[in-house]
Amino acid sequence: MAVRTEVLTKLILHKRERITQSLPQLISQTGDEKHTAEKMARKARINKENLESKITNLKTERKVVTQVFSDELSSNQLKEEQKLELSQIIEALSIVDTSVQEFNENLDKLSKIVKSLANKKISAKLNQSVKANAALGDLNPEYLTSVQEWNEAEGHRRKLESRFTKLSSSLAESKTAAEFWQSRLEDGFEELLIDAKRVADGGPSSRQIHRTKRKKNINKGA
Protein backbone atom coordinates (compact mmCIF):
# COMPACT_ATOMS: atom_id res chain seq x y z
CA MET A 1 0.00 0.00 0.00
CA ALA A 2 2.80 2.44 0.95
CA VAL A 3 4.71 1.66 -2.24
CA ARG A 4 1.64 2.26 -4.38
CA THR A 5 0.89 5.49 -2.54
CA GLU A 6 4.46 6.68 -3.06
CA VAL A 7 4.28 5.94 -6.81
CA LEU A 8 1.00 7.83 -7.16
CA THR A 9 2.38 10.71 -5.15
CA LYS A 10 5.42 10.96 -7.39
CA LEU A 11 3.20 10.97 -10.48
CA ILE A 12 1.04 13.74 -9.03
CA LEU A 13 4.12 15.69 -7.96
CA HIS A 14 5.68 15.32 -11.41
CA LYS A 15 2.50 16.62 -13.05
CA ARG A 16 2.34 19.62 -10.73
CA GLU A 17 6.02 20.41 -11.24
CA ARG A 18 5.57 20.34 -15.01
CA ILE A 19 2.68 22.79 -14.68
CA THR A 20 4.71 25.14 -12.47
CA GLN A 21 7.53 25.04 -15.03
CA SER A 22 5.39 25.64 -18.11
CA LEU A 23 2.94 28.24 -16.81
CA PRO A 24 5.32 31.18 -16.08
CA GLN A 25 6.20 31.58 -19.76
CA LEU A 26 2.53 31.35 -20.76
CA ILE A 27 1.57 33.84 -18.04
CA SER A 28 4.28 36.22 -19.23
CA GLN A 29 3.07 35.95 -22.83
CA THR A 30 -0.55 36.43 -21.80
CA GLY A 31 0.48 39.38 -19.64
CA ASP A 32 2.12 41.06 -22.64
CA GLU A 33 -0.97 40.41 -24.76
CA LYS A 34 -3.17 41.76 -21.96
CA HIS A 35 -1.07 44.91 -21.71
CA THR A 36 -1.37 45.49 -25.46
CA ALA A 37 -5.12 44.81 -25.34
CA GLU A 38 -5.51 47.29 -22.47
CA LYS A 39 -3.81 50.02 -24.51
CA MET A 40 -5.98 49.28 -27.54
CA ALA A 41 -9.16 49.24 -25.45
CA ARG A 42 -8.15 52.51 -23.78
CA LYS A 43 -7.46 54.13 -27.15
CA ALA A 44 -10.79 52.88 -28.55
CA ARG A 45 -12.63 54.16 -25.45
CA ILE A 46 -11.05 57.61 -25.70
CA ASN A 47 -11.97 57.83 -29.38
CA LYS A 48 -15.55 56.75 -28.64
CA GLU A 49 -15.91 59.24 -25.78
CA ASN A 50 -14.52 62.09 -27.92
CA LEU A 51 -17.08 61.33 -30.62
CA GLU A 52 -19.81 61.00 -27.99
CA SER A 53 -18.98 64.50 -26.81
CA LYS A 54 -19.23 65.85 -30.36
CA ILE A 55 -22.52 64.01 -30.90
CA THR A 56 -23.95 65.50 -27.70
CA ASN A 57 -22.85 69.02 -28.66
CA LEU A 58 -24.37 68.72 -32.13
CA LYS A 59 -27.65 67.43 -30.71
CA THR A 60 -27.72 70.48 -28.45
CA GLU A 61 -26.73 72.88 -31.23
CA ARG A 62 -29.31 71.60 -33.70
CA LYS A 63 -32.06 72.51 -31.21
CA VAL A 64 -30.97 76.16 -31.13
CA VAL A 65 -33.80 77.16 -33.48
CA THR A 66 -36.37 76.06 -30.88
CA GLN A 67 -35.06 78.65 -28.41
CA VAL A 68 -36.15 81.66 -30.48
CA PHE A 69 -39.76 80.67 -30.98
CA SER A 70 -41.20 81.27 -27.51
CA ASP A 71 -42.29 84.79 -28.45
CA GLU A 72 -43.46 83.81 -31.92
CA LEU A 73 -46.12 81.47 -30.54
CA SER A 74 -48.01 84.54 -29.31
CA SER A 75 -47.19 86.63 -32.37
CA ASN A 76 -50.07 88.23 -34.24
CA GLN A 77 -48.26 87.34 -37.48
CA LEU A 78 -49.27 83.71 -37.06
CA LYS A 79 -52.71 82.23 -37.54
CA GLU A 80 -54.05 79.90 -34.87
CA GLU A 81 -53.50 76.81 -37.03
CA GLN A 82 -49.91 77.95 -37.66
CA LYS A 83 -49.35 78.40 -33.93
CA LEU A 84 -50.62 74.89 -33.29
CA GLU A 85 -48.43 73.44 -36.05
CA LEU A 86 -45.43 75.41 -34.81
CA SER A 87 -45.98 74.17 -31.26
CA GLN A 88 -46.04 70.56 -32.50
CA ILE A 89 -42.90 71.04 -34.61
CA ILE A 90 -40.98 72.66 -31.74
CA GLU A 91 -42.00 69.82 -29.44
CA ALA A 92 -40.74 67.26 -31.98
CA LEU A 93 -37.46 69.14 -32.48
CA SER A 94 -36.90 69.26 -28.72
CA ILE A 95 -36.62 65.47 -28.44
CA VAL A 96 -32.91 64.77 -27.89
CA ASP A 97 -32.64 61.44 -29.71
CA THR A 98 -34.75 62.30 -32.75
CA SER A 99 -33.20 60.75 -35.86
CA VAL A 100 -31.40 63.00 -38.35
CA GLN A 101 -33.99 62.25 -41.02
CA GLU A 102 -36.97 62.98 -38.79
CA PHE A 103 -35.29 66.15 -37.55
CA ASN A 104 -34.78 67.26 -41.16
CA GLU A 105 -38.44 66.64 -41.97
CA ASN A 106 -39.51 68.87 -39.09
CA LEU A 107 -36.97 71.52 -40.11
CA ASP A 108 -38.52 71.56 -43.59
CA LYS A 109 -41.95 72.16 -42.06
CA LEU A 110 -40.50 74.86 -39.85
CA SER A 111 -38.79 76.50 -42.81
CA LYS A 112 -42.15 77.20 -44.45
CA ILE A 113 -43.41 78.99 -41.34
CA VAL A 114 -40.16 80.94 -40.98
CA LYS A 115 -40.49 82.26 -44.54
CA SER A 116 -43.89 83.69 -43.70
CA LEU A 117 -42.42 85.52 -40.70
CA ALA A 118 -39.55 87.15 -42.61
CA ASN A 119 -37.50 87.20 -39.40
CA LYS A 120 -33.74 87.34 -40.01
CA LYS A 121 -32.84 86.20 -36.47
CA ILE A 122 -35.02 83.10 -36.75
CA SER A 123 -33.72 82.39 -40.26
CA ALA A 124 -30.13 82.50 -38.97
CA LYS A 125 -30.96 80.10 -36.15
CA LEU A 126 -32.75 77.80 -38.60
CA ASN A 127 -29.64 77.68 -40.80
CA GLN A 128 -27.51 76.90 -37.75
CA SER A 129 -29.82 74.01 -36.82
CA VAL A 130 -29.76 72.68 -40.39
CA LYS A 131 -25.95 72.70 -40.45
CA ALA A 132 -25.66 71.07 -37.02
CA ASN A 133 -28.10 68.32 -37.99
CA ALA A 134 -26.21 67.71 -41.25
CA ALA A 135 -22.93 67.48 -39.32
CA LEU A 136 -24.59 65.03 -36.93
CA GLY A 137 -25.64 62.88 -39.87
CA ASP A 138 -22.08 62.87 -41.20
CA LEU A 139 -20.63 61.97 -37.78
CA ASN A 140 -23.06 59.21 -36.84
CA PRO A 141 -21.47 56.44 -38.99
CA GLU A 142 -18.03 57.21 -37.56
CA TYR A 143 -19.44 57.14 -34.03
CA LEU A 144 -21.21 53.81 -34.56
CA THR A 145 -17.96 52.37 -35.90
CA SER A 146 -16.09 53.63 -32.84
CA VAL A 147 -18.65 51.96 -30.55
CA GLN A 148 -18.20 48.65 -32.37
CA GLU A 149 -14.41 48.93 -32.23
CA TRP A 150 -14.50 49.69 -28.51
CA ASN A 151 -16.84 46.76 -27.82
CA GLU A 152 -14.50 44.40 -29.69
CA ALA A 153 -11.36 45.80 -28.02
CA GLU A 154 -12.94 45.72 -24.56
CA GLY A 155 -14.22 42.17 -25.10
CA HIS A 156 -10.73 41.05 -26.12
CA ARG A 157 -9.21 42.80 -23.09
CA ARG A 158 -11.65 41.11 -20.70
CA LYS A 159 -10.98 37.72 -22.27
CA LEU A 160 -7.22 38.12 -21.76
CA GLU A 161 -7.75 39.49 -18.24
CA SER A 162 -9.77 36.39 -17.36
CA ARG A 163 -7.19 34.08 -18.93
CA PHE A 164 -4.32 35.81 -17.11
CA THR A 165 -6.15 35.51 -13.78
CA LYS A 166 -6.94 31.82 -14.32
CA LEU A 167 -3.35 31.02 -15.31
CA SER A 168 -1.97 32.88 -12.31
CA SER A 169 -4.38 31.06 -9.98
CA SER A 170 -3.47 27.73 -11.56
CA LEU A 171 0.22 28.41 -11.04
CA ALA A 172 -0.32 29.31 -7.38
CA GLU A 173 -2.44 26.21 -6.82
CA SER A 174 0.11 23.97 -8.56
CA LYS A 175 2.95 25.38 -6.44
CA THR A 176 0.96 24.75 -3.27
CA ALA A 177 0.06 21.24 -4.40
CA ALA A 178 3.67 20.46 -5.37
CA GLU A 179 4.88 21.60 -1.96
CA PHE A 180 2.22 19.48 -0.27
CA TRP A 181 3.05 16.28 -2.18
CA GLN A 182 6.77 16.89 -1.77
CA SER A 183 6.29 17.14 1.98
CA ARG A 184 4.34 13.86 1.92
CA LEU A 185 7.27 12.14 0.21
CA GLU A 186 9.69 13.56 2.75
CA ASP A 187 7.57 13.15 5.91
CA GLY A 188 5.63 9.99 5.11
CA PHE A 189 2.02 9.19 4.34
CA GLU A 190 0.60 8.58 7.80
CA GLU A 191 -1.38 11.82 7.82
CA LEU A 192 -2.55 11.17 4.26
CA LEU A 193 -3.71 7.66 5.13
CA ILE A 194 -5.56 8.98 8.18
CA ASP A 195 -7.21 11.55 5.96
CA ALA A 196 -8.16 8.87 3.40
CA LYS A 197 -9.72 6.70 6.13
CA ARG A 198 -11.67 9.67 7.48
CA VAL A 199 -13.06 10.41 4.00
CA ALA A 200 -13.87 6.74 3.44
CA ASP A 201 -15.83 6.76 6.70
CA GLY A 202 -17.85 9.74 5.45
CA GLY A 203 -15.87 12.46 7.17
CA PRO A 204 -14.37 15.65 5.68
CA SER A 205 -11.01 15.68 3.92
CA SER A 206 -8.10 17.68 5.32
CA ARG A 207 -8.67 20.19 2.53
CA GLN A 208 -12.30 20.64 3.59
CA ILE A 209 -11.22 21.00 7.21
CA HIS A 210 -8.66 23.61 6.21
CA ARG A 211 -11.25 25.49 4.12
CA THR A 212 -13.73 25.48 7.02
CA LYS A 213 -11.10 26.84 9.42
CA ARG A 214 -10.15 29.54 6.93
CA LYS A 215 -13.80 30.63 6.57
CA LYS A 216 -14.16 30.78 10.36
CA ASN A 217 -11.03 32.89 10.64
CA ILE A 218 -12.31 35.23 7.92
CA ASN A 219 -15.67 35.56 9.69
CA LYS A 220 -13.93 36.29 12.99
CA GLY A 221 -11.87 38.96 11.27
CA ALA A 222 -15.02 40.47 9.79
Helix (H/G/I), strand (E/B), else coil: 107: helix
**What pLDDT score was predicted for residue 7?**
77
Mean pLDDT, residues 124-143 taken together: 93
The whole-angstrom separation of Cα 9 and Cα 187 is: 12
Query: What pLDDT is attached to residue 66?
Result: 83
For the segment 187-209, the average pLDDT, to the nearest whole number, is: 68
* Residue 1 binned pLDDT confidence (cut-offs 50, 70, 90): very low
Continuous segment of H or E residues that includes residue 8: helix 2-61
Question: Which amino acid is residue 101, in one-letter code?
Answer: Q
- Section 25-53 average pLDDT: 96
Domain boundaries, the chain: 11-168
Q: Are 62 and 103 in contact (CB under 8 A)?
A: yes
Q: Which of 21-30, 64-73, 143-152, 202-211 has the highest mean pLDDT?
A: 143-152
| Mean pLDDT lowest among 142-146, 183-187, 216-220 | 216-220
As a whole number of angstroms, the distance between CA 151 and CA 148 comes to 5
Is there a contact between 136 and 64 (Cβ–Cβ < 8 Å)? no
Class of residue 56 by CB neighbours under 10 A (exposed 0-12, middle 13-18, buried 19+): exposed
Residue 222: is its pLDDT beyond 50? Answer: no
Determine contact, residues 34/164, Cβ cutoff 8 Å.
yes
DSSP string, 151-193: HHHHHHHHHHHHHHHHHHHHHHHHHHHHHHHHHHHHH-SHHHH
The C-alpha atoms of residue 41 and residue 155 are separated, in whole angstroms, by: 9
CA distances from 176 to 13, 47, 66, 87, 210 (A): 11, 44, 69, 74, 14
Given a cut of 70, whether residue 46 has pLDDT beyond it is yes
Predicted pLDDT of residue 214: 57
For residue 71, pLDDT beyond 60: no
Average pLDDT over residues 32-57: 96
pLDDT of residue 189: 63
